[in-house]
Structure 1
C-alpha cells in the first residue's frame, strides 16, 4: 500500500493539460503538489518559472524545499513545440526547444536528486511518441523527446542503487485544452476527430487523466520494481501499420 501522507511533489507545467491531470491525480491521494510554470495556478501551490532561463531549475527546487522541507516526486512535464523542417528551424528555435524539453528537466533532476535520494523518491518524465517516431516538421521536438527517453534510462541506471526510480511516459494524441482548441479552429472539427480517431485501434484519442493515472502509479510503492522504462500511452497508434 502506498503511503501518500506527507509526500511532496513538483509538477512542471502543472497548471493545464497533462500536467494538471497528473497534479490532480496526486493531490486526490493527499500529496502536497507544487506546480512550476509561467503564470499562476489557481488550484495548486504555484512557483512562477520560465524554464528557458538556465538558472530556473535550481531556483524552483530550492523554493519547494524552502516551503515544504522535502521533495518526494518530480514530474518533468513542461514542454515546447515549434514547427519547421531542419531548413526552416532557426538556431534559436532549436536551442529553446532543447532547453525547455531536455536541459531544464536534466537540471531539475540534478538539483532534486539529493532530496529524492533522502526520500527514496521517484521521477516521471513526460516524453512523446515523437521520441519514437516523427510527425512532419518536428526535428527539434523529436530530438528533445528522444533525448528525454534516453535521459530517463541513464538516471535509472545511475541512481537505482540510491532507491530513486525514473520512468518516462510517451503520450500520443491527448485531448488537452491546446489540442481541443486546435481541433475547434479547423473548418470541420467533427471530420478531423473521426480521422484522427481512426488512427488509433481503440477508436479514440486519449484523456489527460489517463496519463495522470499512470504517472501516479509509477510514483507509487506498487511500482517499486519499475524503473528505466518508457511507457507508450497512445491507444495502440504506434502499433498500427498503415494500409498498403
Structure 2
C-alpha cells in the first residue's frame, strides 16, 4: 500500500468528484494536503472528509479560487511551500466537460476548455517544478479515455485531453533528469457530478450511465475510488520506475471496438 506519511500533495479540483476522492485517498495514506477549487463550502466538506480519513486538520491547506487565475496558482504553490516546507506530489485534476462538434462548438467555450484543462495544468506544473526537484517528486495528470480515443460531440474536450497526454509524455522526458516522475490516468465513464455541472439533466445522466455499461468491457461504469487509488499508486514510491505513462482506468473501454 502506498505510504504518504510526511509527504505533501497539491490536488486541484478537490471540491468534488475525482479530486475529492483522491484527497480522501491520500489522507488515508498519511499525506499532508493542499486542496484547491472554486467552491469554498465543498472544499470544506472535502477537508472534513480528509480529517475523518486520518489527516490532522492543521495539515490541510485550503486555497479557494479559479485555477485559471495565475494569482490563485501562485498563491497555492507559495502557501503550500510556506505551510509545509515542501511539495512532493502535484495532482492536476481540475477540469471542465464541454459538448459540441466542429460545427456547433462555440469558440469562447473552446478557449475556456483549453484554459482549464490544458493551460492551467502547464502553468501550475511550471510553478511546482522547483519544489518537486528538491523532493524528487511526482506529478499525476487526470486526463480521459477521450484523450486516447476519438469520440463525437466533445471536440474541445477531446482535444484538450489529448494535449494533456502529450504534455505528460513531453514533461516526463524533460523532468526525468531531475528524477521527477510524470504520469496520467485516463478514466472512462466515472460516476461523478461533472455531468450535472456540464448541464445534463438527471434523466440524461441516468440514460448516459446505462448506455455506457455497454461501452466498457467490464460491463459497468467506474467509481471514483478506483481512479483515486490509481492516482495514489502512480504518485507513490511503489511506481518508482514508471514515468511518461497514460494509464487507462476505464474497464477496458480503450481496447473495445464498436459493435
Q: Does 1:93 align with 2:109?
A: yes
**CA separation in 1, counterparts of 2:250 and 2:66?**
29
Equivalent pair of 2:96/2:117 in contact (CA under 8 Å)? yes
User: What is the rounded CA distance, in whole Å, between the counterparts of 2:200 and 2:251 in structure 1?
Assistant: 19
* 1:10 and 2:2 correspond: no
Residue 36 (str. 1) matches residue 36 (str. 2): yes
How far is 1:188 from its partner?
A: 9.4
Paired position in structure 2 for 1:159: 175
2:252 and 2:145 map into 1 onto residues whose CA distance is 11
Specify every segment of 5 or more residues in structure 2 that has no aligned partner in the other structure, as ranges.
48-60
Q: Aligned match of 2:186 in 167, 170, 174?
A: 170
In the superposition, relative to structure 1, how do residues 85 and 198 fare at CA in structure 2: closer, same or farther (>3 Å)? closer
Residue 184 of structure 1 and its aligned partner are, at CA, apart by 7.0
Match of 1:222 in 2: 238
Q: Distance in 2 between matches of 1:225 and 1:6?
A: 21
Number of aligned residue pairs: give it. 242
TM-score calculated relative to the size of structure 2: 0.87
CA 1:146/1:26 → structure 2, altered by over 3 Å: closer, same or farther?
A: same
SS for the counterpart of 1:52 is: coil
SS at match of 1:186: helix
Instruction: Work out whether residues 11 and 77 of structure 1, in 8 Å CA contact, stay in contact via their aligned partners in 2.
Output: yes
Shift of 1:231: 0.4
What is residue 185 of structure 1 aligned with on the other side?
202
**Residue segments in structure 1 that go unaligned for 5+ positions in a row:** none
Shift in CA distance, 58/183, structure 1 to aligned 2, threshold 3 Å: closer
Offset from partner CA, 1:172-192 (integer Å, 9 cap, x none): 000113447988721793x65
Residue 135 (structure 1) aligned with residue 151 (structure 2): yes
Which residue pairs with 1:111 in the alignment? 127
Match in the other structure for 2:217? 201
Instruction: Provide the rounded CA distance (Å) in 1 between the counterparts of 2:136 and 2:91.
Output: 15
In 2, Cα distance between equivalents of 1:9 and 1:187: 35
Q: Which residue of structure 2 aligns with residue 126 of structure 1?
A: 142
- Check the 8 A contact 1:183/1:193 in 2, yes or no: no
CA-CA distance at 1:196 after TM superposition: 1.9
In the superposition, the TM-score normalised over structure 1's length comes to 0.92
The answer to which structure has the higher helix fraction is: 2
Offset, 1:3: 4.7
Once the two structures are superposed, residues 49-82 of structure 1 have per-residue CA deviations (whole angstroms, 9 ceiling, x without a partner) of: 2023244322221121122221100000000122
Q: 116-125 or 81-90, which moves further after superposition?
A: 81-90
Q: Equivalents in 2 of 1:230, 1:193: separation in Å? A: 24
Contact 2:186 2:248 (8 Å CA) reproduced: yes
State the alpha-carbon separation in 1 of the partners of residues 24 and 241 from structure 2: 24
Give the distance between the partners of 2:3 and 2:258, measured in 1 at CA: 45
Q: What CA distance in whole angstroms lies between the structure 2 residues aligned with 1:196 and 1:62?
A: 41
Aligned to 2:21: 21
